[in-house]
């Protein structure tokens, strides 16, 4: 009898509601965040320093190759046009100093002339970032493993050339329909000449501190990886084909 | 307890229902499904600039001028180089698979001494010791017919007091022995297949495996008004697209050619050599159409018709293949006709002390090699010359595993052609002296090195790297190295050939058909997709090998129905072919394009070492070839090989 009374006191819909509300709160507010871990870019890169400071334009690094393919991230070859450290000369100097070429900290601390004399930056923070790039990647002949916020897996074929003529100004009329696909703030204010903002971080050319890359712990993809339904939505609104082979070659 | 349990169940039920009203479960399911795109064994694409970089490929015997397609500096495909006359945009089946071979699991990844991995420094020590111990008893077998690497290798031999430089047997060697050896000519013989108005391919399977196959195909396509004829024991793929196939036994090709020369001489054609009279007397006396018909089975009227065609043509050419006598007879006929045969000047040497090309072709590997120290460069004598090569210590340079590397004491991995500097000087058969060069188009993927640079480190030959040698080569010929590595060819026009002699005495004896004692004649033939003496078939090629060469793991031999009846076999019969010092097993296919009394068998199968595409596929026909010493010339030849065939 006692147990039955206790059961009535603690029973009813209350525990169910508590459980329901608790997981609702967790499921909406807490758990989604646990799907992602934040990762920093391999080195500090400031778009603002290059665009504002050096007067470079987007095409200096991000350009269409002669065959129409798109060079997303610049290679060492492109970077070395300005960061003119001779890898051979630098490695020889490192060997002369008796430093292990894989000991990056020691190389950076040694202030080797073949490197230091050719750094383009003046500010200490920038110089350190440039030094890091030169020591860890340029003279080692390794490309920087940039983290791609808009990463797409190999099974998706995305052509920048096919999308280069999309106009933000014209797409503004579809702002409502595209609200789940494109950040609505992209359509605010005067439309920029180029349409990069449609998919990429808005106004990235003004960015000084690269935002953290949010990696999905299950899929490994970026939080900003565009899902298939988003591609399909925009294709449908634009009257473009949505057949599998359009993107999966 | 029961209260707590019930509460817990209610709480759990609420939580379960609640979680379904959040995106958590659905997102987790979605992410897990996406995760399945990332199994670790799924290859990752490489992203970057796509380029087509010109270079040369040495997988086929004549070599191909190619463009290697790369993405972010990594090779992923090969195509022809339309800027180079050797290619004209075409590519052979072997070189087309260059990337697949480069990335093959059978790639040799590091120097190996008696099966143990060693460093390059240790390898150099070992070779240096062996060289000192061997003295002048050192030899080289090169599988490269056209490269300046041979200059480096022959210079090393000269430095050690040896002249034992060998190439793998082939038409280039037979042609040189006939032209510079027998007839006192200079330069390398070439054939203007594009400019000729009548081409008699006397055994030369020019559109499939003979000479610069790709350039031949381009010439054939471009020569719309020219007439092509094929003579040989089998209707090859080349014969299938020529105007006519004339069945001629392989051992009778020289006599057949002299039988045609009979009519040409009768028509009053002459050559300005001291022994012309003797030659004419020899042909008119010993190679009259009746005698040739009796010896070869080719009707006299057929030879007369061919002679008439050749005489009425304004720029005819006869293209031989096979033994030295067949080449000598064809050269003599070409000199009488004065047509499209050319003599190509040799490009200047880069390495002093190196042999000339003709000197490199003098030693006869089929006579056998027995030495203290043997270097083998990208050749496979253990496969193609069974029991012919013996050495106290063998150093094998190659980029992939072969029967030769498996039996060598020291294996030194060479860079793949796409990873190294290399060149391609006048492959045998081209009409003009043509030089092409290749620079690395991608980084080495294994611990390999340039064989020539390694050899340069063994003696003071005047250079430290092979790149320097090639620079000197370009300078010696007056060519621009940048243009060459950019894919352009340096071309010097072929000249009118002049012989000192028609070798009447030698040719008269050597041209007489000699056949073995087996039940039927053996016609070995090469298809580039099946493989060559040095290179097995490549990863993408097996799907192009027809049931006439390979069925399952069984080699297929072809014969006419009368031959099959004579042997008591039919389509699909399993037979054992015995000849030379070996035996082969095969299935029978009936093909009326094979002369009666002859069995046609594909070369290049039956590897015991290699990848899944070549190892254990078919049987090795080289085992059943008979090496004959040609009368008067003394040259070794496989022509006239016969086999006994037993049903099993």
Over residues A37-52, mean pLDDT: 95
DSSP assignment of B390-454: EEEEEEEEESB--HHHHH-SEEEEBPPGGGS-EEEE--TB-SSEEEEEE---S--SSS-B-HHHH
pLDDT at A4 over 70: no
pLDDT of residue A2: 47
Question: Residue B234 has what DSSP assignment?
Answer: B
Q: How confident is the model at residue A13 (pLDDT cuts 50, 70, 90)?
A: confident
Instruction: Give the tokens for residue B397.
Output: 């340079």
Q: ipTM exceeding 0.95?
A: no
Mean pLDDT of A192-216: 92
Compute the distance between CA of residue B634 and CA of residue B362 in angstroms, rounded to an integer: 12
Q: Is the pLDDT of residue B326 over 70?
A: yes
Buried-state track A216-247, b at ≥16 Cβ within 10 A, e below 16? bebbebbeebbeeeebebbeeeeeeeeeeeeb
Please give the average per-residue pLDDT across B63-70, as a whole number.
Answer: 97
pLDDT band at B633 (very low <50, low <70, confident <90, very high): confident
Count CB atoms within 10 A of the CB of residue B643: 27
Contact status, residue B142 vs residue B377, Cβ threshold 8 Å: yes
The helix or strand, by DSSP H or E, that contains position B171, with its residue range, turns out to be helix B171-176
- Torsion-angle region of B268 (φ positive above 0: left; ψ -120 to 50: alpha; else: beta): left
Cβ-based interface (< 8 Å): residues of A facing B: 3, 6-7, 10-11, 13-24, 26-28, 31-32, 35, 65, 67, 69, 71-72, 75, 153-155, 216, 218-221
Torsion of CA B75, B78, B80, B82, to 10 degrees: -30
User: Are B14 and A72 within 8 A, CB to CB?
Assistant: no
Q: Could you say which DSSP state residue B500 is in?
A: S
- Per-residue pLDDT, averaged over B238-263, amounts to 97
What would the DSSP string read from start to end of B507-552? HHHHTS----SSSEEEEEE--TTTB-SS-B--TTSGGG--TTTEET
Q: Please compute the mean of the pLDDT values over residues B257-282 and round it to a whole number.
A: 96
For residue B518, the distance in angstroms to the closest alpha carbon of chain A comes to: 57
Model confidence at B425: pLDDT above 90: yes
Contact A19 B49 (CB under 8 A): no
Q: Where are the domains of chain A?
A: 2-34, 148-249
Least confident of A4-8, A10-14, B136-140, B555-559: A4-8
pLDDT at residue B385 in the model: 93
Q: Provide the shortest C-alpha distance from residue B15 to chain A (in Å).
A: 4
Q: Which residues of A touch B442 (CB under 8 A)?
A: none
The torsion of the CA quartet B450, B454, B457, B462, rounded to 10 degrees, works out to -50
DSSP per-residue string spanning A51-65: IIIT---GGGTSEE-
Least confident of A10-14, B281-285, B513-517, B572-576: A10-14
pLDDT at residue number B4: 78
Does B45 contact chain A (CB < 8 Å)?
A: yes
Q: pLDDT, tens digit, for every residue of B158-178?
A: 999 999 999 999 999 999 999
The answer to whether the Cβ–Cβ distance between B15 and A22 falls below 8 Å is yes
% of chain B residues with pLDDT over 90: 92
State the nearest Cα–Cα gap between B99 and chain A, in angstroms. 21
With CA atoms as reference, the chain B residue closest to A5 would be B3
pLDDT at A1 over 50: no
Write down the pLDDT at residue B504.
Answer: 94
CATH 3.40.50 holds for B49-167+348-513: yes
Residue A191: burial class (beta carbons within 10 Å; 0-12, 13-18, 19+) = middle
Q: 3-class DSSP state for residue B455?
A: helix
Q: Please check whether residue B74 is in contact with residue B442, taking contact to mean a CB–CB distance below 8 angstroms.
A: yes
Q: Decide if A31 and B24 are in contact by the 8 Å CB cutoff.
A: yes
Q: Would you call B31 and A218 a contact, using CB atoms and an 8 Å cutoff?
A: yes
**Cα–Cα separations (whole angstroms), residue B349 to B62, B353, B601:** 20, 9, 39
Least confident stretch, B38-52, B116-130, B210-224, B326-340: B38-52
Cα four-point dihedral sign B458, B463, B464, B466: negative
| DSSP 3-state of B576 | strand
Q: Check pLDDT > 60 for residue A8.
A: no
Which chain B residues contact residue A19 at CB under 8 A? 10-18
Taking the C-alpha atoms of residue B337 and residue B331, their distance in angstroms, rounded to an integer, is 10
- Residues in B closer than 8 angstroms to A18, CB to CB, are 11, 14
Chain A CB contacts of B50 below 8 Å: 65, 67, 69
Average pLDDT value for residue range B27-49: 89
B108 and B448 in contact (C-beta within 8 Å)? yes
Query: Encoding tokens for residue A52?
Result: 């504002």
Q: What is the pLDDT of residues B576-624, one digit of tens each?
A: 999 988 999 999 999 999 999 999 999 999 999 999 999 999 999 999 9
Tell me how far apart the 2 most distant CA atoms of chain B are, in Å. 126
Q: Strand, coil or helix: what is B626?
A: coil
- As a whole number, mean pLDDT of residues A70-82 equals 92
Given this model, what pLDDT does residue A67 score?
86
Q: Which two tokens stand for residue B561?
A: 């129905």
Residue-level pLDDT at A10: 54
Q: Report the distance separating Cα A13 and Cα A118, nearest Å.
A: 73
- Alpha-carbon Rg of chain B, whole angstroms? 29
What is residue A9's predicted lDDT score, i.e. its pLDDT? 54
Q: Are B209 and B527 in contact (CB under 8 A)?
A: yes
Tell me whether residues A16 and B14 touch, CB distance under 8 A.
yes
Q: What is the pLDDT of residues A119-169, one digit of tens each?
A: 988 888 999 999 999 999 999 999 999 999 999 999 999 999 999 999 999
Cβ separation A32–B21 shorter than 8 A:
no
Number of H helices, E strands in chain B: 21, 28
Q: At A149, is the secondary structure helix, strand, or coil?
A: coil
Which residue does chain A place closest to B443, by CA atoms? A141
Nearest-CB residue to A27 (from B14, B19, B34): B19
A165-191 pLDDT tens trace: 999 999 999 999 999 999 999 999 888
> How close are the terminal C-alpha atoms of chain B, in Å?
84
CATH number for B515-647 (one of 3.40.50.10440, 3.60.21.10, 1.20.58.100, 2.40.40.20): it is 2.40.40.20
The token pair that represents A225 in the structure block: 């990886």
Residue B303's H or E segment, with its range, is helix B300-312
Residues A88-118 have pLDDT tens digits of: 999 999 999 999 999 999 999 999 999 999 9
Burial B168-195 (b: 16+ CB within 10 A, else e): bbbbbbbbbbbbbbbbebbbbbbbbbbb
Please tell me the distance in Å from A235's CA to the nearest CA on chain B. Answer: 22
Q: Do B319 and B200 touch, CB atoms closer than 8 A?
A: yes
Q: Residue B321's pLDDT is what?
A: 97
CATH superfamily of B193-339: Dimethylsulfoxide Reductase, domain 2 (3.40.228.10)
> Are A3 and B3 a contacting pair at CB < 8 A?
yes
Q: Which residues of A touch B41 (CB under 8 A)?
A: none
> Are A153 and B37 spatial neighbours (Cβ–Cβ below 8 Å)?
yes
CA separation for the pair B381, B365 (Å, rounded): 9
From edge to edge, which strands make up the β-sheet containing B227-232? B244-247, B227-232, B198-202, B316-320
Res. A234 pLDDT band, cuts 50 70 90: very high
Set of chain A residues whose Cβ sits within 8 Å of the Cβ of B4: 10
Q: Can you state the angle between helices B300-312 and B324-337, rounded to 10 degrees?
A: 50
Which residues, 6 or more positions from B505, have their beta carbon under 8 angstroms from its beta carbon? Answer: B275, B278, B282, B632
Contacts of residue A10 in chain B, CB cutoff 8 Å?
3-4, 6-7
Tell if the CB–CB gap between A154 and B45 is shorter than 8 Å: yes
pLDDT tens-place string over residues B328-362: 999 999 999 999 999 999 999 999 999 999 999 99
């Amino acid at each position: 009898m006692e147990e039955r009374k206790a059961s009535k006191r603690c029973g009813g819909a209350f525990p169910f509601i508590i459980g329901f509300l608790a997981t609702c709160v967790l499921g909406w507010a807490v758990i989604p965040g646990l799907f992602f871990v934040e990762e920093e870019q391999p080195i500090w890169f400031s778009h603002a320093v290059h665009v504002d400071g050096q007067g470079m334009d987007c095409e200096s690094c991000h350009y269409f190759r002669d065959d129409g393919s798109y060079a997303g991230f610049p290679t060492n070859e492109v970077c070395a046009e300005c960061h003119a450290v001779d890898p051979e000369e630098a490695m020889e100097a490192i060997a002369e100093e008796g430093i292990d070429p894989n000991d990056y900290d020691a190389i950076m601390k040694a202030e080797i002339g073949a490197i230091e004399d050719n750094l383009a930056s003046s500010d200490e923070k920038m110089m350190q970032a440039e030094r890091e790039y030169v020591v860890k990647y340029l003279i080692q002949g390794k490309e920087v493993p940039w983290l791609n916020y808009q990463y797409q897996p190999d099974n998706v074929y995305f052509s920048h050339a096919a999308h280069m003529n999309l106009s933000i100004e014209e797409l503004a009329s579809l702002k409502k329909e595209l609200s789940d696909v494109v950040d609505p703030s992209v359509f605010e204010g005067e439309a920029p000449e180029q349409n990069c903002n449609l998919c990429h971080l808005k106004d990235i050319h003004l960015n000084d501190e690269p935002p953290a890359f949010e990696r999905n712990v299950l899929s490994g993809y970026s939080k900003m990886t565009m899902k298939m339904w988003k591609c399909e939505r925009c294709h449908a609104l634009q009257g473009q084909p949505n057949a599998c082979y359009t993107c999966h070659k | 307890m029961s209260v707590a349990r019930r509460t817990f169940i209610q709480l759990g039920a609420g939580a379960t229902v609640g979680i379904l009203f959040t995106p958590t479960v659905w997102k987790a399911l979605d992410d897990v499904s996406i995760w399945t795109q990332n199994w670790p064994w799924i290859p990752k694409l490489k992203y970057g600039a796509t380029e087509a970089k010109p270079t040369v490929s040495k997988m086929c015997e004549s070599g191909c001028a190619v463009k290697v397609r790369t993405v972010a500096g990594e090779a992923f495909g090969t195509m022809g180089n339309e800027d180079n006359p050797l290619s004209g945009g075409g590519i052979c089946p072997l070189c087309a698979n260059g990337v697949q071979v480069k990335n093959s699991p059978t790639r040799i990844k590091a120097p190996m001494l008696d099966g143990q991995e060693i460093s390059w420094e240790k390898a150099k020590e070992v070779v240096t010791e062996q060289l000192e111990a061997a003295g002048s008893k050192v030899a080289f077998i090169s599988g490269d017919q056209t490269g300046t690497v041979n200059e480096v290798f022959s210079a090393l031999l000269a430095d050690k007091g040896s002249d034992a430089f060998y190439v793998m047997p082939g038409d280039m060697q037979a042609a040189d022995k006939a032209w510079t050896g027998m007839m006192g000519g200079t330069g390398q013989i070439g054939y203007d297949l594009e400019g000729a108005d009548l081409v008699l391919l006397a055994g030369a399977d020019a559109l499939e495996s003979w000479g610069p196959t790709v350039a031949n195909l381009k010439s054939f396509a471009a020569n719309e008004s020219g007439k092509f004829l094929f003579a040989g024991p089998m209707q090859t793929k080349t014969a299938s697209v020529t105007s006519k196939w004339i069945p001629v036994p392989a051992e009778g090709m020289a006599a057949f050619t002299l039988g045609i020369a009979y009519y040409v001489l009768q028509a009053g054609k002459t050559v300005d050599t001291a022994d012309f009279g003797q030659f004419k007397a020899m042909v008119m006396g010993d190679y009259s159409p009746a005698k040739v018909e009796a010896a070869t089975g080719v009707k006299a009227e057929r030879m007369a018709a061919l002679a008439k065609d050749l005489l009425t043509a304004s720029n005819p050419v006869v293209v031989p293949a096979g033994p030295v006598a067949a080449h000598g007879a064809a050269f003599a006929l070409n000199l009488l006709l004065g047509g499209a045969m050319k003599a190509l000047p040799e490009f200047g040497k880069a390495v002093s002390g190196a042999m000339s090309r003709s000197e490199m072709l003098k030693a006869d590997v089929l006579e056998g090699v027995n030495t203290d120290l043997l270097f083998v460069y990208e050749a496979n004598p253990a496969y193609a010359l069974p029991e012919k090569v013996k050495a106290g210590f063998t150093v094998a340079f190659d980029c992939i595993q072969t029967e030769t590397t498996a039996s060598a004491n020291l294996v030194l991995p060479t860079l793949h052609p796409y990873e190294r500097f290399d060149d391609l000087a006048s492959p045998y058969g081209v009409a003009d002296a043509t030089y092409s060069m290749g620079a690395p188009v991608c980084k080495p993927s294994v611990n390999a090195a340039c064989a020539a640079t390694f050899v340069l480190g063994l003696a003071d030959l005047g250079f430290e790297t092979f790149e320097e040698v090639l620079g000197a080569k370009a300078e010696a010929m007056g060519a621009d190295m940048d243009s060459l590595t950019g894919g352009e060819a340096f071309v010097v026009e072929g000249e009118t050939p002049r012989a000192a002699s028609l070798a009447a005495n030698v040719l008269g004896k050597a041209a007489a058909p000699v056949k073995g004692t087996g039940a039927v004649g053996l016609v070995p033939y090469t298809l580039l997709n099946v493989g060559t003496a040095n290179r097995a078939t490549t990863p993408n090629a097996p799907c192009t090998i027809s049931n006439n060469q390979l069925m399952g793991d069984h080699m297929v031999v072809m014969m006419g129905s009368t031959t099959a009846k004579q042997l008591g076999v039919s389509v699909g019969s399993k037979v054992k072919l015995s000849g030379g010092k070996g035996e082969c097993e095969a299935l029978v296919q009936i093909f009326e394009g094979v002369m009666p009394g002859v069995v046609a068998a594909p070369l290049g199968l039956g590897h015991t070492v290699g990848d899944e595409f070549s190892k254990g596929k078919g049987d090795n026909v080289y085992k059943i070839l008979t090496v004959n010493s040609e009368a008067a010339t003394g040259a070794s030849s496989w022509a006239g090989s016969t086999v006994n065939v037993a049903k099993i």
